[in-house]
Amino acid sequence: MVEKVFVRMEKEAKIRLKKVLKVIMDYAAYNFGNRAAIGKDHDILDALAAGINMLGEELRDSTISLKEKEALVKEAHHRVKNNLQIVSSLLSLQANFVKGRDAREKFQESLDRVRSMALIHEMLYISKNLAEVNFREYLETLVKSLFTSHQLRENIQLKIDIEIQQENFDIDTAIPCGLIVNEIISNSLKHAFSNKQQGLVSLELKNIHEKKYLLSISDNGSGFPKNVHLDSDFFGLQLIQTLVEQIHGIIQFETGKKGTKYSIVFKL
């Protein structure tokens, strides 16, 4: 008789535990509609049920709060992207009223810089990760769009070799790196091949050690004029230096008749 009572109690306990487990699984799926039942015995299983219910309530509140914050961050990225697009449009419009090829080129350079930043915010807006971008994807998109916007001859080729696959870079690294790439490649496309029939621009990015990366961009164009070095009085080179400092990187610059190469080592 006593044994039958224990068997029945064990069976009831198992049923109650299964119901509590079901509630836990629902909470894990962010379904907070279910609650564990608390009986009148106020025994240990009732205590477990109460605890699960209370934790579920706290989790539900945190989830709502987190979702609201995510929505706000996404919205912020969307607005920044839109504002940068407005700046782009204004620059573009202004360029139509500017006389002289030199001045128009300066506007185009500014446009490219703004677009490289807008692209990051666009990617952040559509990605699940609100604070980091897939840098490979970003670089590929950026470089291809630079080639398109400079409307080059078909015999200028682009070679991209990005070894990193899924690495995400935070916005504080991605933006300066994007601007560096924009600066170097734009410069190559505008100046390196004016005396050449064909050419090649290469971009390589590899992870050399833990969080250390090597970014190499080169072209086989005609190189900078003699005696030009990184500290020379060229706005583009100075900008590159400043941006490399921003990401606490080190840059090497080689230029000659066979082309120009930039090698930048930086750490996340």
Partner 1 sequence: MRNSIATEKSFSSAFKIKLEKDEIVRAWVKDHAVVDLNSAKKITETLLKITPDASRPVMINLGKINYITKEARDYFKDEKRKPSAPSIALIAKTTLSTFIGNFYLGLNRPKIPTRLFTDETSAIKWLKKFL
CB contact at 8 A, 241 and 228: no
Please identify which residue in 10, 12, 43, 70 interacts with partner 1, judged by CB under 8 A: 43
38 near partner 1 (CB under 8 A): yes
Other CB atoms within 10 A of residue 253 CB: 19
Residue among 233, 235, 247 at smallest CA distance from 113 = 235
Is 57 a binder of partner 1 (CB under 8 A)?
yes
Could you tell me the end-to-end alpha-carbon distance of the chain, in angstroms, rounded to an integer? 70
**Closest separation in Å from C-beta 33 to partner 1:** 14
Work out which of 61, 163, 172, 245 binds partner 1, going by CB under 8 A: 61
Residue 108 CB neighbour total at 10 angstroms: 17
By the rule CB under 8 A, 50 interacts with partner 1: yes
Shortest CB 41 distance to partner 1, Å: 9
Instruction: Name which position in 42, 67, 229, 258 contacts partner 1 (CB under 8 A).
Output: 42
Residues 249 and 92: their CA atoms lie apart, in Å, by 32
- Rounded Cα gap, residues 204 and 207, in angstroms: 10
| Cβ distance to partner 1 smaller for residue 60 or 191 | 60
Residues that bind partner 1 (CB under 8 A): 38, 40, 42-44, 46-47, 50-51, 53-54, 57-58, 61
